[in-house]
Structure 1
Amino acid sequence: MGKGERFFSKNLIFEQGRQRYFLGLFKRKKKVELRPGALPPEKVKEIVKKIGKNKKVNIRRVEYDGTPEEKPITVRIIDIKDDYFTGNVINVERSIKQELDEKVVYIKGGGGTIDFYYEDGDIMSIEEDVDEVVIEQRNIGELVEILDALDINEEILISYYDEAKGGVINGRGRLISKNLENNDFEVEFSVINEIELDRPKVVKLNLEKDKVLDIEVVF
């Protein structure tokens, strides 16, 4: 073998070795650095898969020094992958305000989606939201009796679970229409979740299709 061939052979071996080194770097698994008090990635993944998609959960994360975040973040799980899961942020009061005023734009603490990577090692707890598990509709027969006894334009307090917003709506307003044959009724709200509305908001509800929790007359 001549000098040129030996030089080429050495370079080829060197290049192959360097390629294997860099490929090894890419393949090498990133070391997970758990924050104090955080759940292991596999445990987070197990909990998320057990809860499943389209469920509302409260996630509490932990800071680098082990201090839990002051408030948990509430999201609806919309996707679950091998490395992460995606949650759609739920904020009922924010949704109400933004719905009432299209010019209002929320950035901090707002909505949108978040990807939670298991190996970030910053999730302290994940729990299915109590609203999703515990809330039960009041007996429809009782609600029909209450609706039947109410007069049009009578002022009422009403609570119902809004699936789109992912939370309970507590409102005060006037009953403006009712149809006992199909259990439909409309309420013109003046206050929703302690937010006084600049303009009344009309909401149509159905005792069978919507999860109405309670209806009371304002005395």
Structure 2
Amino acid sequence: MNKILVVDDEKVILEVLEAYFEKEGWEVLFASNGIDALKIVKEQSPDLIILDLMLPDISGEEVCRLVRKDSNVPIIMLTAKSAEDDLINGIVIGADDYVTKPFSPREVVVRVKALLRRTQQMENGNQISFNHHKLRIDHVKREVRLNDAILALTPNEYRILITMASYPGRVYSRADLLEKLQEDGAYFEGYERNIDTHIKNLRKKMETDTRHPEFIITVFGMGYKFGGEKDESNA
């Protein structure tokens, strides 16, 4: 059973989401402030977090940053902010999706299902490695290692990486990669600028020199490609 943590101080929202989530057979956890939310994340390891930005103690953005230090759990932000820059900022700090208030509970359910699919039904296979085993991707564990150190990637960063790494050298436009995040036709309100943000975050985590990247390469005027060379042992 999937455990969904809802972090919001509005009782009506908690009650509505609880009713819809329980119909899906999900266990629902609640927190009305950021401190309690962080405690629940640590103690109960939810499968997904619905996180309001406006909390009574610490902001949702800060909760997201703190969660991302130790966890790749999918995060959907609830926000009354609709400006593109505000939404992109949520992606920068590690959110995987966002829903603007007021929202349709059915829409939230669709987005939760889409994120759970992307994190729980990854491609089959064992490990694949690149550049003399410098970079290793384990599809079963959904784990990426660089020089044996585990990279803390968000689900969407991971999805983009394995999409590109599956076909090294192939150029993906921003629209191509955005479509991958709209997996199985699930509704995802996104901007192509969001892809640039994910790519920037991937480079920070993966590249020794972000100005001369080894793995995530920009093809000017076209998009991005994966520059790693697959090890022969993977053939």
TM-score by length of 1: 0.26
Which structure shows the higher helix fraction? 2
Which structure shows the higher strand fraction? 1
